[in-house]
């Protein structure tokens, strides 16, 4: 799919990926029978799926039956100087809508297949990295159109909530507009911290210990939420989102979701849930209980 040079080539490759995605989602819905499953659309930049070393590129060329030069050229084309702020997230779907459509079709068909087996599938689809409401509106139109096609083919009425990640500062401060299109927000506080501070999450380890040691910062902001700055963006977004869509579901995903002090803050601004890596769930649960009692 990544090596394809035109839309038809991508669609042909995506048709092969569709049953794999559908099978994955059916497995998720079966395991989570009756519980919500929040699915984030493709987020990483495409270059992450390609080998960057010559032996890996040679192996890929042999497996796919193309010449090495084709792989090398595609790797060079996809190279970005700052990939985490580059062609990823919703930007991929806007450039290549067929990717969105394949993923959404896989989700819808998997949910319908699971329902036919007596499984209650409760998917929620999350669009990553939006900065403007128009990005979300465009993506949502593509998604709803594909869902309508699935329903027409199957004679069904599948529907599910569509929301977005708030991980770009501009999205946080324009959340009243974004809430017109989003049925839920999930705060991606890792990227919100990265873009809010202007710190590279991958490189800041070389100087953040000095900042903490010299009390320039009280904590590593990627470990415990900076409540004064990044937290204020979250608070503004919550207030604007609720004002535009009362009852909107609000949550957070990332390392901060398992940090006790951050969890207390999230409780204070009224988030509905926190999401974190599995080993931090017990800590997050305890922190959430203590915050509720306090």
Q: Check residue 82 and give its pLDDT.
A: 87
Q: Check residue 254 and give its pLDDT.
A: 82
The answer on 207 and 62 residing in a single domain is: no
SS3 249: strand
Sole residue written with tokens 């070389």: 206
**In the numeric block, which tokens belong to residue 9?**
């080539």
Q: Check residue 290 and give its pLDDT.
A: 94
Radius of gyration of the chain (CA): 21
Distance (Å, whole) CA 205 – CA 84: 16
Is residue 97 domain-resident?
Answer: yes
**In the numeric block, which tokens belong to residue 273?**
């849930």
- DSSP states along 58-108: HHHHHHHT--HHHHHHHHHHH--SSGGGSS-THHHHHH-HHHHHHHHHHHH
Q: Give me the CATH number covering residue 167.
A: 3.20.20.60
Is residue 102 domain-resident?
Answer: yes
The answer on 267 and 169 residing in a single domain is: yes
The answer on 220 and 107 residing in a single domain is: yes
First to last CA, the chain: 52
CA proximity to 222, closest of 252, 250, 192: 192
* Tens digits of residue pLDDT in 110-155: 999 999 999 999 999 999 999 999 999 999 999 999 999 999 999 9
- Is residue 284 within 8 Å of residue 263, measured between CB atoms? yes
Mean pLDDT, contiguous 10-residue spans, the chain (294 residues): 92 97 98 97 93 93 92 93 91 96 98 98 98 98 98 98 98 98 97 96 93 97 97 98 98 92 96 92 94 91
- Is residue 279 within 8 Å of residue 256, measured between CB atoms? no
Structural domain boundaries enclosing 71: 46-79
The answer on 98 and 63 residing in a single domain is: no
The answer on 30 and 111 residing in a single domain is: yes
The answer on 131 and 67 residing in a single domain is: no
pTM confidence score:
0.94
Q: What is residue 278's DSSP assignment?
A: G
The answer on 157 and 191 residing in a single domain is: yes
Strand partners, 249: 184
The answer on 91 and 68 residing in a single domain is: no
CA proximity to 199, closest of 219, 214, 221, 218: 221
**In the numeric block, which tokens belong to residue 65?**
């039956």
Distance (Å, whole) CA 86 – CA 95: 12
The answer on 203 and 64 residing in a single domain is: no
Is residue 1 domain-resident?
Answer: no
Is residue 160 domain-resident?
Answer: yes
Structural domains in the chain (count): 2
Is residue 2 domain-resident?
Answer: no
The answer on 224 and 108 residing in a single domain is: yes
Q: Check residue 255 and give its pLDDT.
A: 87
The answer on 95 and 74 residing in a single domain is: no
* Tens digits of residue pLDDT in 255-288: 899 999 999 999 999 999 999 989 999 999 999 9
Strand partners, 36: 122
The answer on 128 and 108 residing in a single domain is: yes
């Amino acid at each position: 799919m990544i090596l394809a040079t035109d839309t038809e080539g991508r669609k042909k490759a995506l048709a092969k990926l569709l049953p794999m995605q559908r099978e994955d989602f059916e497995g998720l819905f079966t395991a989570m029978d009756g519980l919500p499953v929040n699915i984030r659309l493709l987020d990483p930049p495409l270059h992450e799926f390609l080998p960057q070393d010559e032996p890996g590129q040679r192996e890929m060329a042999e497996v796919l039956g193309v010449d090495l030069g084709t792989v090398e050229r595609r790797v060079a084309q996809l190279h970005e100087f700052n990939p985490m702020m580059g062609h990823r997230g919703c930007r991929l779907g806007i450039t290549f809508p067929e990717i969105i459509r394949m993923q959404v079709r896989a989700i819808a068909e998997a949910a319908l297949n699971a329902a036919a087996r007596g499984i209650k599938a409760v998917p929620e689809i999350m669009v990553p990295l939006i900065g403007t409401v128009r990005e979300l509106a465009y993506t949502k139109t593509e998604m709803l159109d594909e869902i309508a096609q699935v329903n027409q083919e199957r004679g069904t009425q599948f529907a599910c909530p569509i929301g977005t990640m708030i991980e770009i500062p501009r999205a946080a401060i324009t959340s009243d507009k974004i809430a017109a299109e989003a049925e839920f927000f999930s705060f991606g506080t890792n990227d919100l911290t990265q873009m809010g501070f202007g710190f590279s999450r991958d490189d800041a380890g070389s100087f953040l210990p000095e900042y903490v040691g010299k009390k320039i910062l009280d904590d590593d902001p990627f470990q415990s939420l900076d409540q004064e700055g990044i937290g204020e963006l979250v608070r503004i977004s919550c207030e604007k989102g609720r004002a535009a869509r009362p009852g909107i579901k609000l949550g957070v995903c990332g390392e901060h979701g398992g940090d006790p002090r951050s969890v207390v803050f999230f409780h204070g601004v009224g988030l509905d849930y926190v999401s974190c890596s599995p080993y931090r769930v017990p800590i997050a649960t305890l922190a959430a209980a203590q915050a509720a009692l306090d």
